[in-house]
Amino acid sequence: MTIDTLLAHELPLFAGLSAPDFTGLPVPCTTRPLAAWEILFNQQDPGRDVHFLLSGTLLALYWTPDGREIIFSRFAPGAYFGELSALDDGDRSLAVVARSDATVLAIPAATFRQLFDRVPALRWRITRDLVARIRSLTARNLELTTYSVEQRVASYLLGLAVERGQLRAGGQIDDAPTHADIAATIGSNREMVSRAMGGLVRKGAIRTARQRIDILDPKALAEGF
């Protein structure tokens, strides 16, 4: 695959760059299709490639020793991941699983490090993204240690509504996560999430339907913080 072919995918990390920015830098890459619920790589795997999601949806998961699943991230098309292993040469800290049929593009770790070293715009973007991840993890840790389950559910729904541009009365979150998915994301269990969701429904903050959550009253959803 040539650099022009790579740039044709219009991946956000490479936005605004052109072939001359990569002069003298070969960028070998491969694509791979994934079926729904296929594992791209597992935690503790030794792979070092950096991956870009071209289509579909992926989940970054951690499986505890007792088999409990914790969802750390959901990747949408254009996202990249696996850069930590490429930068520090360590094993994978999380598993990545396809939530739907998907296609990923992979760049070898050595190539990614060359890009990091020799293309200033990429180095800045990657550093900025790492800082944003640290901030997000800090906020998530504070939620886990200071918020009740009800508050964590409300915070999660607020964030999801903002992410999808639906934080308004009448906003709709389609293809909504299941109660089990929410529980795995906020560090709870399905039963407690179901109770919290029921409480938000009774309060008039949301309405739920199959794979959809309607935002009825954003202020009511944000109460209690």
The tens digit of pLDDT for each residue in 42-94 reads: 999 999 999 999 999 999 999 888 777 888 888 999 999 999 999 999 999 99
Using an 8 Å Cβ cutoff, are 43 and 93 in contact?
yes
Residue 173 DSSP one-character state: E
What does the pLDDT look like over 139-180, one tens digit per residue?
Answer: 888 888 889 999 999 999 999 999 899 999 999 999 899 999
Q: Which domains does the chain have, with CATH numbers?
A: 3-133 (2.60.120.10), 145-217 (1.10.10.10)
